[in-house]
Amino acid sequence: MYCCDQLQEAEARGALYIGAKHRIDDGRIVNDVNTEYFIRAAGRQGYDYFGVNYCPFCGRALSLDLWAHEKKK
Ligand SMILES: [Zn+2]
């Protein structure tokens, strides 16, 4: 599920990980955002993953959690 081409390109380049949190095994998750979208950056050991709820390129809501919240409004 991609909101824009830039997001898709970021994943293709490995700058973005899309998937379940518990499947990340080559680094650590830096923040505590409930999402399936993570910015990946080289850390001291393995990678650092930054969870994001919004697309860093076009600003649209990304995570399923957020979609669920918006629907309830
Ligand atoms: Zn986008």
Does position 73 have pLDDT exceeding 70, yes or no?
Answer: no
CA of 14 to the centre of ligand 1 (A): 16
Whether residue 11 is contained in a domain is answered as yes
CA of 8 to the centre of ligand 1 (A): 8
Average pLDDT over residues 10-21: 96
Residues at Cβ < 5 Å from ligand 1 ion: 3-4, 7, 55, 57-58
Does position 50 have pLDDT exceeding 90, yes or no?
Answer: yes
Distance between CA atoms of residues 18 and 50, nearest Å:
11
pLDDT of residue 65: 74
pLDDT of residue 44: 87
Whether residue 69 is contained in a domain is answered as no
Q: Residue 44's domain spans which residues?
A: 1-54
Nearest CA to 16 out of 33, 30, 43, 36 is that of 36
Q: What torsion, rounded to 10 degrees, do the Cα atoms 38, 40, 41, 47 define? A: 100
Q: For the chain, report the end-to-end CA distance as a whole number of angstroms.
A: 23
Q: Please give the model's pTM, rounded to 2 decimal places.
A: 0.85
For the stretch 19-39, pLDDT in tens is: 999 999 999 999 999 999 999
Please list the residues that pair with 27 across neighbouring strands. 47
Whether residue 27 is contained in a domain is answered as yes
